[in-house]
Amino acid sequence: MSEMTTQELAVDLIACFEGCRLTAYQDTGGVWTVGFGETGPDVTEGVTRTYDEAWAWLQDRVASLLPLVADLPVPHAAALASFGYNCGRGALLNVIAGHDTIANPIHYTDRHGNVLTGLRSRRQLEEALMLL
């Protein structure tokens, strides 16, 4: 059995946590989202994706984060890519630079300070992968 690549592990982590919804919905923050967590100005009410389109977008987005973590062991790099996918490139850069941590509660609470259990679990898994 061959080892997983960073991209494979990151994509699997992200797909597991994000799930895939092919019709746009508003996430807990009210942001229109489709596929495996795709957001942006083109994602609005009524937008749909095919599974193949959603999968391709996920692959491309993960690939864009991999150069930032290329020199790290696969579990660390995949955890950071998962975090960056969910929290954004800026948050990822702050964690890589040591100015923030994955475990910072801001990364798993909503704007009212409520803990989002699924995000807390995701952050805990990402933190655990950093220990491997």
| The predicted structure's pLDDT at residue 22 | 98
Please give the sequence-ordered ranges of beta strands (E in DSSP) within 83-122, or none if there are none: none
Q: How many CB atoms lie within 10 A of CB 70?
A: 9
| The predicted structure's pLDDT at residue 111 | 87
d(CA 52, CA 120): 29
Confidence band of 42 (pLDDT split at 50, 70, 90): very high
d(CA 30, CA 67): 30
Hey, what's the torsion of the CAs at 24, 27, 31, 36, to 10 degrees? Answer: -60
- Type of residue numbered 9: L
pLDDT exceeds cutoff 70 at 1: no
Question: What's the DSSP call for residue 66?
Answer: G
Residues 51-92 have pLDDT tens digits of 999 999 999 999 999 999 999 999 999 999 999 999 999 999
Residues 97-122 have pLDDT tens digits of 999 999 999 999 998 999 999 999 99
| The predicted structure's pLDDT at residue 28 | 87
* Whether the Cβ atoms of residue 75 and residue 132 lie closer than 8 Å to each other: yes
Both tokens of 102, joined, read 């994955």
Summarize the confidence of residues 41-58 as an average pLDDT.
Answer: 98
Residues 4-35 have pLDDT tens digits of 999 999 999 999 999 999 999 999 889 999 99
